Structure 1
Amino acid sequence: MELHTREWGTGDRVAVLVHGIMSDHRTWRRVGPALADKGYRVIGVDLRGHGASGRGAYSPEIFADDLVDTVPAGVELAIGHSLGGMALALAVERLAPARAVYSDPAWALGAAGVDPAVFVQFRKATRTTITNLNPRWEEADVDVEVATLALWDPDTALGFSGANALDRTPAAPAVPSLVQAADPSHLLSEALKGDLRRRGFEVRTVKGAGHTIHRDDFDAFMGSLDGWI
Structure 2
Amino acid sequence: MLLHTHTWGEGDRIALLIHGIMADHRTWRRVGPALAERGYRVIAVDLRGHGESGRGEYSPQLFADDLVETLPAGAELAIGHSLGGLTLSLAVDRLKPLRAVFSDPAWHLASSEEGFGPETFAQFKTASKEEIQAMNPRWEEADVDIELETLAAWDESTALSLGPLFGTDLLPAAPVVPSLVQLADPSFLISAERAALLADRGFEVRLVAGAGHTIHRDDFEGFMVSLNGWI
Relative to the length of structure 2, the TM-score reads: 0.96
Q: 2:8 maps to what in 1?
A: 8
The question of whether the paired residues in 1 share the 8 Å contact of 2:122 and 2:160 is answered with no
Mapped pair 1:25 → 2:48: no
Please identify runs of 4+ aligned residues in structure 1 that moved more than 4 A. Answer: none
Q: Distance in 2 between matches of 1:14 and 1:106?
A: 24
Deviation per CA, 1:149-183, whole angstroms, max 9, x where unpaired?
00000000122113x54432100000000000000
Q: 1:37 maps to what in 2?
A: 37
Q: 1:121 maps to what in 2?
A: 123
Q: Structure 2 stretches of 5 or more lacking a match?
A: none
Q: Distance in 1 between matches of 2:144 and 2:130?
A: 9
Matches within 5 A, 1:1-229: 1-109=1-109, 112-113=111-112, 114-162=116-164, 164-165=165-166, 166-229=168-231
Q: Distance in 2 between matches of 1:156 and 1:120?
A: 8
Aligned-pair distance for 1:84? 0.2
What amino acid sits opposite 2:129 in the alignment? R
Q: Distance in 2 between matches of 1:8 and 1:215?
A: 18
What amino acid sits opposite 2:160 in the alignment? L
Relative to the length of structure 1, the TM-score reads: 0.97
Deviation per CA, 1:45-76, whole angstroms, max 9, x where unpaired?
00000000000111101100000000000000
Matched residues, percent identical?
67
Aligned-pair distance for 1:121? 1.0
Q: Distance in 2 between matches of 1:105 and 1:84?
A: 7
Aligned-pair distance for 1:2? 0.5
SS at 1:196 equivalent: helix
The question of whether the paired residues in 1 share the 8 Å contact of 2:108 and 2:190 is answered with no
SS at 1:123 equivalent: helix
Q: Distance in 1 between matches of 2:82 and 2:141?
A: 22
What amino acid sits opposite 1:205 in the alignment? L
Q: Structure 1 stretches of 5 or more lacking a match?
A: none
What amino acid sits opposite 1:22 in the alignment? M
The CA RMSD over aligned residues, in Å, is 1.0
SS at 2:89 equivalent: helix
What amino acid sits opposite 1:102 in the alignment? F
Matched length: 227
Q: Distance in 2 between matches of 1:10 and 1:85?
A: 25
Aligned-pair distance for 1:88? 0.1
